[in-house]
Amino acid sequence: MFDRLFYAIEFIVQWFSFATVVDAYEYGLVLRLGKFNRTLSPGLHFIYPFGVDQVFTENVVQETQSVSTQSLTTKDGKNIIISAVLSYRIKDIRKYMLEVEDAAGVLEDSTYGVVAAAVERADWDEIRLPEFTEEVYKAIRQKAFRWGVEVISLQFSDKSLSRTLRLVMDS
């Protein structure tokens, strides 16, 4: 019962709110009647009440994301295990929030694809060179920029040859 009363009071306060505060580690955007109106930097901002303006905020400080391990085959036919760590931050809040759904997931999926394509084009000796990491980093950075994300660094946490054992069973 008290939780419903609390939600009712919270709704009334938000409904009549004429201002919003964006924290120092956030950026925000305002949708006015469902359309993009403006972006918000940290600080106090005045808004239209009664649901006319909706404010959405997002953390824009640097984040680190582990990209799960991939088992891939190089151009010279070697099976390898490769995993990466990305550091990134939101650079354009409008693109990030309005032009892509689940940008962090899209970033991880794109990284899988870029890494897989690069491994297929390279042999094992090329993959171990720093130039390989730089090539993959530039490709991921370029893709992420379209979604308002700045990729700060890419590090491969594991690059190793894999021994696989595959059993084939006849039915």
Domain range for 133 is: 63-161
Across the chain, the runs of DSSP E, i.e. the strands, are: 19-22, 26-32, 35-40, 43-46, 53-59, 63-73, 79-90, 149-161
> Is the pLDDT confidence value at 40 over 90?
yes
Based on the fold, state whether residues 6 and 54 are members of the same structural domain: yes
Based on the fold, state whether residues 85 and 145 are members of the same structural domain: yes
The 8 Å CB, 24+ separation contacts for 161-164 are: 161/78, 161/79, 161/80, 161/81, 161/124, 162/71, 162/79, 162/80, 162/81, 163/79, 164/71, 164/79
Based on the fold, state whether residues 79 and 148 are members of the same structural domain: yes
What's the domain count of the chain? 2
Alpha carbons 29 and 101: distance in angstroms, whole number = 16
pLDDT in tens, 95-138: 999 999 988 889 999 999 999 999 999 999 999 999 999 999 99
Based on the fold, state whether residues 24 and 100 are members of the same structural domain: no
> Is the pLDDT confidence value at 45 over 60?
yes
Q: Is residue 167 part of a domain?
A: no
Q: Is residue 135 part of a domain?
A: yes
Would you tell me how many other CB atoms lie within 10 Å of the CB of residue 80?
Answer: 18
- Last residue within a domain, chosen from 17, 34, 59: 59
- The overall pTM is greater than 0.85: no
Q: Is residue 169 part of a domain?
A: no
